[in-house]
Amino acid sequence: MSHPALSFKVTRQSPELIAPATPTPRELKHLSDIDDQEGLRFHVPVIQFFRQSHLGRGRDPVEVIREAIGKALVHYYPFAGRLKEVGSGRKLAVDCTGEGVMFIEADADVSMDEFGDLLQPPFPGLGELLFDVPGSGDMLGCPLLLFQVTRLTCGGFIVAVRLNHIMADATGFVYFMTAVGEMARGQPDVSVRPVWRRELLNARDPPRVTCVHHEFDQVEGTIVPFENMVQRSFFFGPDEVAALRNLLPPHLTRCSTFELLTAVLWRTRTVSLKLDPAEEVRMMSIVNARHKFNPPLPKGYYGNAIAYPAALTSAGELCVNPIEFALQLVKKAKNEMTEEYMKSVADLMVLNNRPHFTVVRSYVVSDVTRVGFETVDFGWGKAAYGGPAKGGVGVSPGFINFYIPAKNKKGEKGMTIPVCLPAEAMDVFIKEMNGLLETGRLARETPKKKTTPFITSAL
């Protein structure tokens, strides 16, 4: 467990710009109508922890990664440009200026071990490990990526990156980071050629909304308040998933782990917030649509190819019914994702001035367990942790939860889910979740064994 009170000093060098290593085309590249929607106009922090390794052969990770970024940008040169608005309707494009991405060299007086044996959000000192350079975080005219590589006293290092979400989703960003890793390891070329082709996700002519999109309903009300928020990470491994699965009727036990956990978290979170039973609540699961197309989007397509179909019900119905009620809603929403659904979203963006998805009484989940953040290798082996740097991003810290691959102290594979809620609601959340787990364990035919709390960190 990492110590929430851990403090350390980070010494940073002045920010610099890393341009592509060789000349790249100067052109204007239009983004897709999925890319430039309002709900993706923010920056996403990602972090990777690397332990000292003989594979590094005494090389300096800062110098290796700095050089590798320049080489990777030759292939992914739009990342070295700047966003600008073109024409009408708030349409965005990348001006491929070749100016480069922002890079910060840093050293911290802390070792990897001091972060604890279970690396997971919330990370202490995140603002020092990914410094928000003043004036660098706007949408237009700013670097599209910010890197900070921080050496640790033990010989390990941390790579933290801030991505402008307009440019790529998680899958697309891992394509780029994998290319940086390949350049860092001395490969002569990237293994997957980047594909721009943003016109594949543009609106039709004429645009026509053919599906129901409750994720874009206009709803009055307020989002979860920022005051007195706490974040805790919860580990769900084989034992926890099996216990929760025991709460389902036999005909639903073959649901996916993602569907099960999403249903449980949505219901438990809603109970903890003590909403008016008559109020409408939404759950939106972020779905990768690359393979929903026929033919699938080309391998290497690194733009946003995601949508978030919504399940909705009243807070009262969600809270008084068993888990299976929420599960069936989750499954139905997830199954709505088709090629036609994605085209309908693109059309809606153009017709409705690129609206933000509904945030009032909404809950968004994003499964990044199979995206591959942790597999990126700069020459020191795979990351000890790779994934979102925070449990929530966007308009509210408690609005979205990431499902992150993790192992417990026994080495069992599972996922960590950082949850951010007001302190009072978090207490209720913990009580409700532990109650569900205990009920599920008692339902087993095998003898009950002593269990340990599944909360692994807190700030």
Residues classed as catalytic: 165, 377
Instruction: List Cβ neighbours of 47 (8 Å cut-off, separation of 6 or more).
Output: 123, 126, 129, 130, 158, 159, 160, 161, 385, 386, 387, 388, 389
Coil, strand, or helix at residue 182?
helix
Establish how many alpha carbons lie within 13 A of residue 383's alpha carbon, considering only the half-sphere containing its beta carbon.
25
- Structure-token pair, residue 195: 């594909």
CA distances from 233 to 187, 391, 412, 426, 430 (A): 37, 8, 16, 11, 11
H or E, element range at 309: none
Strand intervals (E) in 328-425: 362-367, 385-388, 400-407, 413-422
CB of 175 closer than 8 Å to CB of 300: yes
> What does 65-119 look like in DSSP terms, one character per residue?
HHHHHHHHHHHSGGGGSEEEE-SSTT-EEEE-----EEEEEEEES--SGGG-SS-
Pairing between β-strand 101-108 and β-strand 145-151 as defined by DSSP bridges: parallel
